[in-house]
Amino acid sequence: MKSEMTADEKFKRMTETPINKLVLTLAVPTIVSMLTTSIYNMADTFFVSQISTSASGAVGVAFPLMMIIQAIGFTLGMGSGNYISRLLGQKNREYSSKVLATGFFTALILGTALAIVGLIFIDPLVYILGATDTIAPHAKAYIQYILIGIPFMTASFVMNGTLRFQGSAFYAMIGIATGGVLNIVLDPIFIFTFNMGTGGAALATIISQFISFCILFYNSSKGGNLKIKIKDFSPEWVVYKEILRGGLPSFYRQALGSIALICLNFSAGIYGDAAIAAMSIVGRVIHFAVSVMLGLGQGFQPICGFNYGAKLYDRVLSAFWFTAKLSVTALAILGIIGFITSPIVIQAFRKEDLEVIAIGSLALRLQSLTLPLSAWIIMTNMLVQTIGKSKEASIVSISRQGLFFIPSILILPRILGLLGVQLSQPVSDVCSFILAVFISKEVLNELRSQQEEQENLIVSKEIDR
């Protein structure tokens, strides 16, 4: 009974609390989670970069694999979470529990399968990911530990997503932030004290991820949240269909992001390990900036899902515009800071290598110029994905890292050389922004029409009374 009361109170909060207050309340924990995750990703890059330029490049080579892991976790986590938030908006907790268990246990199964295949074929894998002969030993030492931790990492992404979509961002934050802080502490211990090099950074990561997994699993049963039970595991097409409808846009984004990074590694590798290292550092720095608005957006998503399921379209629109404006403003400020301080930022990672600093500084400045555009692209994607518009969400998802970036990274370096490598992401951002504007305009107009229909229906009922 207590759980039901908590669930009812949660529903009331999600559908009645003033939008601005609710977005910020839910966004603060998710921003902390995203920043913590981004910081420990940067910590890996920072500490490994102190070893050598080739070691620094190894983290960039391993990152496409991390994105494949995220592709599985985000697909099942975002898909389950989107569906659960709409079901909870309809007050259907029983079926929500089946969706949660199905997403969680599927992530464990797929993660285990991927780990086994990766460990068997680890030698060719590092070269497929874009390693050079000098980077390969460092990349293998790093990747072998990451592969071992894949099942817990994929399942953690699912729990993080489903907790957020239930409006329990604080419980998700505790798990993610604890693992992130632990990773930062363990990195220098394993890398330098135990002299494990790049392998030590990866070992620190999977230990931290396992701790996060345990905390997230424990928190999944607290505060009126749905409990993960093996008896609710329902591997049926009717369940997977809805999970995939909400999650495939995330899969497309992450999978194409992985392919895009492999293409980037090969294109940058022509100019040596310094170019791979520089672009890897820039990628982590930009991801740190974007994580701020991702946190804001993830505060928006459960509000969007609950209220869309409850047919409160005016609240969906209000939440979108408030979050979008805040996100664009935040990334504009961070873009200005990044443009001004780019040489200092890159130098902090690899001060001994002037070539890395030169390549990275220009690339960071170019990406800082288009950084605010990312806010609109990502917010549009979050809106259409959360309300179940899979086609539109998939198009926006594949645009930034697939539809536009992959052609850019394959074509521009052939024309402009190294500058083409540095320009590929900004060019992709501009093209993706234009596409997102057209899609968001259509979807927002549709939501306004649904809002008007709902208001007219309410008026009609009042007149009938």
Write the pLDDT tens digit of every residue in 312-371: 999 999 999 999 999 999 999 999 999 999 999 999 998 888 999 999 999 999 999 999
- Residue 465's pLDDT is what? 63
At residue 183's C-alpha, the angle toward residues 177 and 184, to 5°, is: 95
36 falls in which pLDDT band (50, 70, 90)? Answer: confident
pLDDT at 9 over 90: no
pLDDT at 385 over 50: yes
Half-sphere exposure (Cβ direction) of 288: Cα atoms closer than 13 Å: 19
Query: Among residues 147, 79, 141, 139, which one has the least CA distance to residue 113?
Result: 147
- Nearest-angstrom CA–CA distance, 443 and 103: 28
2 falls in which pLDDT band (50, 70, 90)? Answer: very low
pLDDT at 5 over 60: no
Tokens of 463: 């007149």
**Percent over 70 (pLDDT), the chain:** 97
222 falls in which pLDDT band (50, 70, 90)? Answer: confident
pLDDT at 259 over 70: yes
- Model pLDDT for residues 89-126, shown as the tens digit of each residue: 888 999 999 999 999 999 999 999 999 999 999 999 99
- Nearest-angstrom CA–CA distance, 232 and 154: 19
- Residue 398's pLDDT is what? 87
Lowest-pLDDT choice from 2-11, 147-156, 176-185, 194-203:
2-11
Phi, psi of 448 (to 5 degrees): -65, -40
1 falls in which pLDDT band (50, 70, 90)? Answer: very low
Average pLDDT over residues 393-420: 92
pLDDT at 407 over 90: yes
Average pLDDT, the chain: 91
Most confident region among 47-56, 203-212, 399-408 by mean pLDDT: 203-212
- Residue 453's pLDDT is what? 86
Phi, psi of 66 (to 5 degrees): -60, -35
Query: What letter represents residue 51's amino acid?
Result: I
Query: Among residues 331, 10, 334, which one has the least CA distance to residue 170?
Result: 10
3 falls in which pLDDT band (50, 70, 90)? Answer: very low
- Residue 152's pLDDT is what? 95
4 falls in which pLDDT band (50, 70, 90)? Answer: very low
- Residue 464's pLDDT is what? 66
- Residue 88's pLDDT is what? 87
- Model pLDDT for residues 441-462, shown as the tens digit of each residue: 999 999 999 988 887 877 777 6
- Model pLDDT for residues 415-449, shown as the tens digit of each residue: 999 999 999 999 999 999 999 999 999 999 999 99
63 falls in which pLDDT band (50, 70, 90)? Answer: confident
At residue 416's C-alpha, the angle toward residues 411 and 421, to 5°, is: 65
Quote the pTM value. 0.81
